[in-house]
């Protein structure tokens, strides 16, 4: 029985690896298409941005011109903090998480890569994280 299970696991892994390779090839092909070539050329030059993340961001956002301001795009990605305001008090809470999850995930993953590989952003992150904590810093400040 154990040999059969191991064989099935191996076949499953082999099949999944093939599907991953096909998906990566399709993403690479799409990134070189006329629609995505220019924006991808700019995106992959950024630290922390790679092919899959860049295509995820571009595909999720679509036409950037549809957002009238950066604030609207932040709201679409749900990276802005919830605001609780009354007549006398104003404070912010956690992110709303009501927008596009894949966009938010891609942007946060890229921010973590930047913090890991860029001396400048690592320093900025370390200083802010002492006050705010790592999770708030990576989402709100970078």
The model's pLDDT over 50-75, given as tens digits with 9 standing for 90+, comes to 899 999 999 888 888 888 998 888 77
The pLDDT, as a whole number, for residue 91 is 64
Question: Is 39 domain-assigned?
Answer: yes
Name the domain count of the chain: 1
Question: Is 109 domain-assigned?
Answer: yes
Least confident piece of the model among 13-27, 85-99, 101-115: 85-99
Residue 98 pLDDT > 80, yes or no?
no
Residue 135 pLDDT > 90, yes or no?
no
The pLDDT, as a whole number, for residue 82 is 64
Write out the DSSP string of 129-142: HHHH-HHHIIIII-
**Do 40 and 57 touch, CB atoms closer than 8 A?**
no
User: Which tokens is 93 given?
Assistant: 């809470």
Nearest C-alpha neighbor of 125 from the set 52, 53, 71, 48: 48
Range of the domain at 124: 32-141
Question: Is 97 domain-assigned?
Answer: yes
Positive or negative CA dihedral for 140, 113, 70, 100?
negative
pTM, rounded to two decimals = 0.71
Question: Is 24 domain-assigned?
Answer: no
The model's pLDDT over 5-21, given as tens digits with 9 standing for 90+, comes to 999 999 999 999 999 99
Question: Is 2 domain-assigned?
Answer: no
Angle between helices 2-31 and 51-61 (to 10 degrees): 60
Question: Is 116 domain-assigned?
Answer: yes
Question: Is 40 domain-assigned?
Answer: yes
Question: Is 93 domain-assigned?
Answer: yes
């Amino acid at each position: 029985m154990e040999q059969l299970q191991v064989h099935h696991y191996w076949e499953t892994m082999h099949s999944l690896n093939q599907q991953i390779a096909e998906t990566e090839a399709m993403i690479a092909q799409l990134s070189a298409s006329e629609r995505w070539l220019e924006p991808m050329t700019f995106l992959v030059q950024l630290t922390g941005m790679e092919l899959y993340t860049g295509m995820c961001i571009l595909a999720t956002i679509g036409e950037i011109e549809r957002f009238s301001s950066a604030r609207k795009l932040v709201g679409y990605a749900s990276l802005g903090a919830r605001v609780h305001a009354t007549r006398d008090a104003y404070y912010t809470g956690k992110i709303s998480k009501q927008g596009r999850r894949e966009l938010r995930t891609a942007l946060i993953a890229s921010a973590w890569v930047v913090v890991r590989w860029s001396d400048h952003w690592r320093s900025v992150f370390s200083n802010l994280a002492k006050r705010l904590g790592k999770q708030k810093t990576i989402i709100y400040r970078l």
